[in-house]
Amino acid sequence: MRRERAPGPGTVPNPRVFILLAISLILTTLPVSHVHAAAALRAEHVISVPCRGGEYFDFTPLGLAFDASGKLYVVDADNSRVMVLRDSFEDMRPFSDIFRDSVGIHFVDVEIRDGLTVYVSEENRGLLIGFNRLGQPRAQVDVGQGVAGFGIGSAGKTCVANPTYELIRIVYIDGDREAADVTLPPEEGHLLYVDCLVLDEGKFVATAASHKRLLHFNAVGKYLGPFGLNEFSEPYGVASFAGEYVLVSDVGEKEIVVLDLKGNRIGSFGKNHLDEPTFLAVRRDGTVCVSDTRSRTVEVFKIAID
């Protein structure tokens, strides 16, 4: 019976051994942070809140925002006012109706700076109006006629979508820096911006319904390209969750899409509960509120991402 000799100085080992050893070495030395399991999205519908309040019934909701205590602020697009809902989503009451029924006033979106100061975008006069905790207007910033959704970041940096003039205006609501307009080259065609979200380090994203994408910009407004490879039917509102995920409402698909910070799609929810989802807001505990303008309700969901 012939025996196989162990490789000696003059023999060449099987190259497959080296390949297996190399793969093993790479896997054992790869940092744990580079090994990602696919994130799993869990979502459930909690309640449907009719948009009613005071003597006005069935108003059209638009912008939404949570304050630091968990109360939800809702733009009443029909009556130029802001409503507020307690964290139990009961007892909707006016927060500020000082402009109620004013001719030529049209509120669109609402954001809350540092969890306290309420800002509302007014489309026709092109203003961001700041309200104190009593619902009284205390400040205003001129951002250009035709504004829509906006997002507030650190140091008062605010990115405002303007579909009328096909641009995004960067303003600083403290007034310590000059405003700047962000436009794209003419070859990009007509741009219908709807909403903005400021990310870490001043970068921001904007929903472009015309391009069916979420567009990505650096801190000074330089266009970085689409945020991920996802194409939407009609992207509208955009919000963040836990500083790690971006939520986008898709009017055409009647759903909310969840992306990670690289633009990768994690999942979606709401398809059986939404008719015309527009703006949205996310609370720290994973509560997501969505304005459904067709059904005139605020739809409430609870999400978790594992």
- Residue 298: inside a domain, yes or no? yes
pLDDT at 38 over 60: yes
- Whether 6 is in a domain gets the answer no
Centre a 10 Å sphere on the Cβ of residue 112 and count the other Cβ atoms it contains: 18
Inside any domain, residue 16: no
Percent pLDDT > 70 in the chain is 86
Does the residue 287 lie in any domain?
yes
Please report which confidence band the pLDDT of residue 31 belongs to, taking 50, 70 and 90 as the band edges: very low
The per-residue pLDDT for range 252-287, each reduced to its tens digit, is: 999 999 999 999 999 999 999 999 999 999 999 999
Digit-coded pLDDT (tens) for 149-192: 999 998 899 999 999 999 999 999 987 788 999 988 777 788 89
Domain count of the fold of the chain = 1
Q: Is residue 12 part of a domain?
A: no
What's the token pair of residue 301? 């969901």
Output the six-digit token pair for 305.
């991402």
Q: Looking at the predicted structure, is the pLDDT value of residue 5 above 50?
A: no
DSSP structure string for the chain: -PPPPPP-TT----HHHHHHHHHHHHHHHS-GGG--PPP-EEEEEEEEEE--BTTB-SPPEEEEEE-TTSPEEEEETTTTEEEEE-TTS---EEEE-TTTT-TT--EEEEEEETTTEEEEEETTTTEEEEE-TTS-EEEEEE--TT---EEE-GGGEEEEEETTTTEEEEEETTSSS--EEE---GGG----EEEEEE-GGG-EEEEETTTTEEEEE-TT--EEEESSS---SSEEEEEEETTTEEEEEETTTTEEEEEETTS-EEEEE-TTT-SSEEEEEE-TTSEEEEEETTTTEEEEEEEEE-
At 2, the pLDDT band (50, 70, 90 cuts) reads very low
| Residue 187: CA count within 13 A, CB half-sphere | 0
Write down the pLDDT at residue 91.
83
Please list, residue by residue across 249-259, b when 16 or more beta carbons sit within 10 angstroms of its beta carbon and e when fewer do: bbbebbbbbbb
Does residue 9 lie within any of the structural domains? no
**CATH code of 75's domain:** 2.120.10.30
Q: Is residue 75 part of a domain?
A: yes
Which range of residues forms the domain containing residue 69?
Answer: 40-305
Express each pLDDT in 8-26 by its tens digit: 444 444 545 444 444 444 3
Answer yes or no: is 21 within a domain: no
